Amino acid sequence: MSADGSPTVATSGLSVSFGSRQALEDVSFELRSGTFTGVLGPNGAGKTTLLGALLGTIAHRGSARVEGRPAYVPQAGAIDASFPIDALGVVLMGRYPRLGWRRRPGPDDRRRARELLEQVGLAAEARTSFGALSGGQRQRALVGRALAQEGDVLLLDEPLTGVDAPSAEVLLEVFEAERRSGRTVVMTTHDLAQAARVCDRLLLLNRSLVAAGRTDEVFRSEVLRRAYGGDLLLIDGQTALLDDAHHHH
């Protein structure tokens, strides 16, 4: 892991296009270790694309760099929930990449996987099949798998979307613990208020970078309005977002 406070995630002039559609344009920022960054923006703003570029799975121009190893939690919708595996098996999968081609997960890996299940509050569901878990429990298992990767940078794609409130609380505690232990945590989200409450940095995207910085600098109506435009509503000085989840471009 890099020294505390040094940049671990950085992009410079990052641009991505899918055919004729420009998904990201000239995005440059730096994130330091020991921070918890919320990536905000309307649908189609390029949040997931940004994570893909950082992971190297999406072709891009400019640079997108992760210092150290990334651990990743994709959106839960992409997963085959009928695959025959239990919660413990899902977390154990996080150990595979570091084991190489020849070694099998050993007792140490299993012990670590059980500790992580404990941490995400799924100890009692260790032998429950993934398909039988609730949405929130599935998301906790997937976060457990990412923690098992023991990466330096934790990239989370909408980890709290469609997750029940108790699960969301558990997950936010886990993310905060990761930040405290010096990791760089990056989370895309639709939930402005939640991001403002739990993240210490915000990154506001709308294809290009609208704002990046400390939460108190970015979470201001005049800044948010540049990303969300007319979808943003101000009530008694409180910011509310109109119907973002169903918003289409």
Partner 1 sequence: MLEALDAPYLQRALLAGLVLSIPLGLLGCWIVLRELAFFAHAVGVATFPGVVVGLALPALGPFAGALLAALGFSAAISASEADHRLRGGAATGLALAVALAAGAVLLTARGGGAAPVDRLLFGSLLAVSSADVVLCLVGAAVAVGVLAVLLPRLAATTFDRTWAGPAGAGERVSASALLVLVSLVVVCALPAVGSLLVSALLVVPAATARLITERLAPMLAWATGLCALETVAGLLLARALDLPPGAAIAVVTGLGFGVIAAASAAASRLTRVAPA
Site of interaction with partner 1 (CB under 8 A)? 55-57, 70-75, 78-80, 83-86, 89-90, 93-94, 96-97, 99, 101-102, 104-105, 129-132, 142, 145, 149
Q: How far is CA 195 from CA 95, 201, 203, in A?
A: 29, 9, 10
C-alpha separations of 42 from 22, 59, 152, 188 in Å: 15, 22, 28, 11
Q: Which of helix, strand or coil describes residue 177?
A: helix
Query: Vertex 188, ends 16 and 200: CA angle to 5°?
Result: 120
**Beta-bridge partners for 234:** 239
Angle at 191 between CA 145 and CA 65, to 5 degrees: 55
Min dist CB 232 to partner 1, Å, is 31
Residue 111 beta carbon to partner 1: minimum distance, rounded to whole angstroms: 18
Task: Kindly give the interhelix angle for 135-148 and 107-119, rounded to the nearest 10 degrees.
Answer: 130
Closest to partner 1 by CB, 21 or 220 = 21
Which is nearer to partner 1, 104 or 246 (by Cβ)?
104
CB-based contact 134:164 (threshold 8 Å)? yes
Provide, rounded to whole angstroms, the least separation between the CB of residue 238 and partner 1: 36
Report in angstroms how near the CB of residue 124 gets to partner 1 at its nearest: 17
Nearest-approach distance from CB 74 to partner 1, in angstroms: 4
Backbone dihedral angles phi then psi of residue 96, each to the nearest 5 degrees: -55, -50
Helix/strand/coil for 178: helix
Closest distance of CB 84 from partner 1, Å: 5
Nearer to partner 1, 73 or 224 (CB): 73
Nearer to partner 1 by Cβ, of 85 and 196: the residue is: 85
CB nearer to partner 1: pick between 27 and 142: 142
Q: Which is nearer to partner 1, 99 or 234 (CB)?
A: 99
